[in-house]
């Protein structure tokens, strides 16, 4: 397989589509990296399920205040206007449709937009958690993920085989090889790595990729 984007590069590409002033929730773990790459002149307002809105970047090592953490238990900093509120109010914001975008990781995404990003397997977690609220409360749901699993199996599929987080919720997928939209129950290819042919990409995808107009080159800086 051709070279692929790093996790940081995928996060950079996803960050370019967040508009100025957007209210954004980033999934625990890898998706949190998206906050590092906000385009110059744009500032998202980040929300975390445990009850903070408008927090800042991670503090320098050794300067953490462990009373100030996000939902992933990582230390954050405060910015002017940062707000604190009850966990229940935080989920009322989510369920009330007040978030512009949620960016989550994924084990599998189906061509109709179904998302599976949790598992009860040997290294799984006991429940789906707040992601099930985010995928149906946010106005837009995007996924960042490697295009294939560690053993080379497709993560973009005709249908998910793992427990679902949400049904028909994903609209765009940023992978290590391409940017793919979910439209009309199918995958539409928008961007791909220049060195990768369409046929090569299709062979690594578990459902048909459709074309609508030109496919742009997926060009990402070293980050």
* Enclosing H/E stretch for 152: none
Q: In what order do the strands lie in the sheet with 52-53?
A: 83-84, 52-53, 45-48, 23-26, 101-104, 140-145, 172-175, 178-183, 186-192, 209-217
Q: How many CB atoms sit inside 10 A of residue 163's CB?
A: 16
State pLDDT tens for residues 34-92.
998 989 999 999 999 999 999 988 899 999 999 999 988 999 999 999 999 999 999 99
Structural domains in the chain? 7-215 (3.40.1080.10)
What pTM, to 2 d.p., does this model score?
0.93
The conformational region for residue 97 under phi > 0 = left, psi -120 to 50 = alpha, else beta, is left
CA distance 63 to 75: 9
Q: How many CB atoms lie within 10 A of CB 180?
A: 28
Alpha-carbon radius of gyration of the chain = 17
Mean pLDDT, rounded, for 117-137: 78
Residues marked active site are found at: 49
């Amino acid at each position: 397989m051709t070279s692929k984007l790093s996790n940081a590069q995928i996060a950079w590409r996803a960050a370019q589509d967040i508009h100025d002033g957007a209210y954004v929730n980033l999934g625990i773990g890898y998706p949190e990296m998206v906050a590092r790459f906000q385009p110059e002149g744009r500032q998202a307002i980040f929300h975390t399920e445990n009850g903070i809105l408008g927090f800042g970047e991670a503090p320098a090592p050794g300067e953490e205040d462990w009373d100030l953490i996000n939902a992933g238990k990582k230390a954050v900093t405060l910015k002017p206007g940062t707000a604190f509120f009850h966990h229940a109010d935080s989920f009322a914001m989510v369920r009330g449709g007040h978030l512009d975008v949620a960016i989550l990781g994924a084990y599998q995404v189906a061509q109709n937009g179904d998302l599976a990003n949790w598992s009860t397997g040997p290294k799984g977690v006991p429940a789906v958690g707040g992601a099930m609220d985010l995928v149906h409360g946010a106005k837009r749901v995007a996924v960042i993920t490697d295009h294939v699993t560690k053993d080379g199996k497709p993560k973009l599929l005709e249908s998910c085989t793992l427990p679902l987080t949400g049904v028909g919720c994903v609209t765009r997928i940023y992978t290590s090889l391409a940017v793919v939209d979910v439209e009309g129950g199918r995958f539409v290819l928008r961007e791909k790595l220049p060195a990768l042919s369409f046929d090569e990409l299709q062979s690594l995808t578990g459902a048909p990729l459709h074309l609508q107009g030109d496919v742009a080159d997926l060009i990402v800086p070293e980050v």
